[in-house]
Amino acid sequence: MLVLVICGSFILSVTCHGGHQHSLYLPEISENKAKSFLHNRHIRSLDPHPDYCTYLRYESWCEWHIPYCQGQQEFTREHRCATLSTPCSPGQHCVLTTPCPAHFRHNCVDKNECDSNPCQNGGTCHNGNNQYTCTCLPGWTGTNCEIDIDECASTPCMYGNDCIQDRINSYICVCSERFEGVHCERDCRPGPADVMFLIDTSFSQKEAINQSVDFMTEFVKQIPIGPNDFQVSLVSFSLHPKTIFNFTTFQSNSSLLNALSLIESESGPTKTSDALQYASQKILNPANGARLLSNISHYVILVTNGLSTDRNQAIHTAQILRNTNPHFKIYAVGIGEDIAHEELVQLPTDASLSFSPDNNDLLLAMLKDAADYGCTDCNSTSLTDVIILFDTSEDSSPLKGSSLHSLKFVDKLVDSFDMAHTDIKVAMLTFSSDSQIKFNFSHISDQDMKAKIFTTTIDNRQRNTSIRVGLLKMEEFFTSPSSGGRPEARKICYLFTNGKWPTSENSELKHKIEELNAAGISVNVMVTVDDTDSYSDTDMSLTNAKEIAFDPYRVYIVEENNDYVIIQAAARETRYVKCPSDIFKSKH
């Protein structure tokens, strides 16, 4: 019987004995049998009488499992390919196109170089003509992506900071103490900077020399001195400026501290304009050891009472100097028996750089300025609780005589706090023999606040004043948890009075204000001076105020027409800089 088997493009004719009928759909043989059949090239020579029906079954199984057969007959492929009359060209390889036992066929096809998975570490292989290319995952390189790229090789961490390759395709900069940023790009250690103290030693300052020295000493103790750090020079002035020491004289903190007391009182006028000119020439002069690099700031710290003989010229000169060189900055400190705030806010680079000597505000503002922009060690803040403490007593209320002027001042002062955009909170208390809360720290509308301010009146029922009553009430209000004050906020009190209380109260009041100061509440005495006051009246008011104030800097004169500068000066302390105490020490 004849059976036609269609296999690929071949037609096989096979006659089987035993009467078996064979169709195209022969029963499958087991995988193992087919494998051994395909592997055994001698199958026919071993069996001189092959059973063609068995053979057919093998063939049929193979036809149905071509991919499998192709994979299993490397031996046959090698054998057949070795007999090629024309070997495959480079870039091609010999394959069996038809692997069935009855009609092995081979052919030359383009080789897929990617078959051997040459690309490592997740790289993608691209087959080319007799070659391949690998596209590597980020972080790898080399023909086969076998090389781990050293991301630190390009020294991405600035200022020589350490680079660590923490993972594939990644690195970490380990910033040493003074640097911040992903690449340690911000130098956050304040400095280097050249700092010149410019000290008013004129006649009017003869009692203030020691306080100036104390101020400088406190300042210098907190900064590192050296050729790569802060350099300090000292110039005093009265009629003429003179250099006590220049930037190169001292290279260490301890030797410098002793030399600060070398300033001496003089008997001349206060020629601040000349002194500022001199300062600018000396501080920007390498002959004095100044370092004229763009990354080094130059600070002139002007210590004065603000009573310049040449005030207008001084303000003009200061303006020209700071406009000419942005690296030359003037800061002012008010030290003296009487402080003229109106001058002190106009001499520095801006009004916010006028400082009291009683705290570290100037130093901290300078340290922030002397570090890179964007460093977060030192932050500006306005977290401040303010109490307006208004005297309404018959005798010493500012409302007596000067009508509403002092209330207008309070209103403008409160406006200047810009509470919608700052962290400042304000409360207002009035006092005569007793005290009253006008408004507390909880927010009320500007309109309501204004209304409450302007409805303040003299308390006619009480003929006697007691500033002490007011101070005690204010202290209680600050410390009471129910007033809405914030424990972490700076606490400032503005005491509005005309200063005409009995002088006999002064020592007790002074003591109380010192106590408040030690408890973190600074009291500014806002003395309202009335046009109708005689010179001796005014003098008594100021004398009283100065006698009770913690420092002469804390006395402000409120009169018509000086509101703007006095408000700038008085409100300055509501905005300040905070730095960690170990700003110069290691952060890690």
Q: Exposure string (b/e) for 406-430, b if CB count within 10 Å is 16 or more?
A: bbebbbebbebbebeeebbbbbbbb
* For ligand NAG, the closer CB: 161 or 483: 483
Q: How far apart are CA 439 and CA 416, in angstroms?
A: 18
The span of 25-33, 79-87, 141-149, 478-486 binding ligand NAG (CB under 6 A) equals 478-486
Contact between residue 516 and residue 468 where contact means Cβ atoms under 8 Å apart: no
- Looking at 484, 506, 517, 565, which residue binds ligand NAG (CB under 6 A)? 484
Determine how many CB atoms are found less than 10 A away from the CB of residue 229: 16
Greatest alpha-carbon pair distance for the chain in Å reads 148
Q: Which residues contact 527 (CB under 8 A, 6 or more apart)?
A: 497, 498, 499, 541, 542, 545, 555, 556, 557, 558
User: Given the structure tokens 């640097």, which residue do they identify?
Assistant: 179
- Looking at 73, 354, 393, 483, which residue binds ligand NAG (CB under 6 A)? 483
* For ligand NAG, the closer CB: 192 or 470: 192
Q: Binding to ligand NAG by residue 463, rule CB under 6 A? A: yes
Structure tokens belonging to residue 403: 């009508």
In angstroms, what CA-CA distances link 437 with 352, 430, 472?
30, 7, 13
The span of 342-350, 388-396, 556-564, 579-587 binding ligand NAG (CB under 6 A) equals 579-587
Question: Considering the complex, what minimum distance in angstroms separates the CB of residue 205 from ligand NAG?
Answer: 10
Question: Considering the complex, what minimum distance in angstroms separates the CB of residue 588 from ligand NAG?
Answer: 15
User: Given the structure tokens 């806002």, which residue do they identify?
Assistant: 526
The span of 267-275, 316-324, 409-417, 574-582 binding ligand NAG (CB under 6 A) equals 574-582
The span of 4-12, 165-173, 340-348, 482-490 binding ligand NAG (CB under 6 A) equals 482-490
Q: Binding to ligand NAG by residue 187, rule CB under 6 A? A: yes
- Name residue 44's amino acid: R
- Name residue 98's amino acid: T
Rg value, the chain, Cα: 46
Q: Which of residues 288-307 bind ligand NAG (CB under 6 A)?
A: 288, 293, 295
Q: Which of residues 312-351 bind ligand NAG (CB under 6 A)?
A: none
Question: Considering the complex, what minimum distance in angstroms separates the CB of residue 190 from ligand NAG?
Answer: 10
* For ligand NAG, the closer CB: 288 or 356: 288
Determine how many CB atoms are found less than 10 A away from the CB of residue 360: 16
Question: Considering the complex, what minimum distance in angstroms separates the CB of residue 187 from ligand NAG?
Answer: 5
Quick one: CA torsion of 541, 547, 553, 558, rounded to 10 degrees?
Answer: -10
Question: Considering the complex, what minimum distance in angstroms separates the CB of residue 233 from ligand NAG?
Answer: 8
- By CB atoms closer than 10 A (0-12, 13-18, 19+), residue 127 is middle
Question: Considering the complex, what minimum distance in angstroms separates the CB of residue 368 from ligand NAG?
Answer: 10
* For ligand NAG, the closer CB: 158 or 315: 158
* For ligand NAG, the closer CB: 146 or 395: 395
C-alpha atoms less than 13 angstroms from C-alpha of 168 in its C-beta half-sphere: 12
Site string for ligand NAG, 220-259 (x = CB under 6 A): -x-xx--------------------xx-xx---xx-----
Question: Considering the complex, what minimum distance in angstroms separates the CB of residue 232 from ligand NAG?
Answer: 11
Contact between residue 330 and residue 300 where contact means Cβ atoms under 8 Å apart: yes
Q: Which of 461, 459, 470 is nearest to 393 (CA)?
A: 459
Site string for ligand NAG, 427-456 (x = CB under 6 A): ------------xx-x-x------------
- Looking at 129, 130, 210, 323, which residue binds ligand NAG (CB under 6 A)? 210
Q: Which residues contact 470 (CB under 8 A, 6 or more apart)?
A: 389, 391, 429, 431, 435, 495
Question: Considering the complex, what minimum distance in angstroms separates the CB of residue 466 from ligand NAG?
Answer: 9
Contact between residue 489 and residue 430 where contact means Cβ atoms under 8 Å apart: no
* For ligand NAG, the closer CB: 192 or 348: 192
Q: Binding to ligand NAG by residue 465, rule CB under 6 A? A: no
The span of 25-33, 92-100, 125-133, 480-488 binding ligand NAG (CB under 6 A) equals 480-488
Q: Binding to ligand NAG by residue 458, rule CB under 6 A? A: no
Question: Considering the complex, what minimum distance in angstroms separates the CB of residue 159 from ligand NAG?
Answer: 7
Determine how many CB atoms are found less than 10 A away from the CB of residue 434: 15
Q: How far apart are CA 447 and CA 327, in angstroms?
A: 43
* For ligand NAG, the closer CB: 6 or 437: 437
Question: Considering the complex, what minimum distance in angstroms separates the CB of residue 361 from ligand NAG?
Answer: 14
Q: How far apart are CA 109 and CA 133, in angstroms?
A: 20
Site string for ligand NAG, 359-398 (x = CB under 6 A): -----------------x--x-------------------
Contact between residue 190 and residue 583 where contact means Cβ atoms under 8 Å apart: yes
- Looking at 36, 124, 155, 464, which residue binds ligand NAG (CB under 6 A)? 464
Contact between residue 298 and residue 193 where contact means Cβ atoms under 8 Å apart: yes
- Looking at 482, 504, 532, 536, which residue binds ligand NAG (CB under 6 A)? 482
Q: Binding to ligand NAG by residue 486, rule CB under 6 A? A: no
User: Given the structure tokens 């005030």, which residue do they identify?
Assistant: 311
With DSSP H G I counted as helix, E B as strand and the rest as coil, what are the percentages for the chain, rounded to 5? 35, 25, 40
Strand 424-431 and strand 435-439: the pairing is antiparallel
Q: Which of 369, 366, 363, 367 is nearest to 215 (CA)?
A: 363
Question: Considering the complex, what minimum distance in angstroms separates the CB of residue 563 from ligand NAG?
Answer: 27
Q: How far apart are CA 14 and CA 58, in angstroms?
A: 13
Q: Binding to ligand NAG by residue 581, rule CB under 6 A? A: no
Residue ranges of alpha helices (H) inside 331-463 are 341-344, 361-369, 399-402, 405-416, 446-454
* For ligand NAG, the closer CB: 52 or 439: 439
Q: Which residues bind ligand NAG (CB under 6 A)?
A: 187, 192, 207, 210, 221, 223-224, 245-246, 248-249, 253-254, 287-288, 293, 295, 376, 379, 439-440, 442, 444, 463-464, 482-484, 578-580, 584
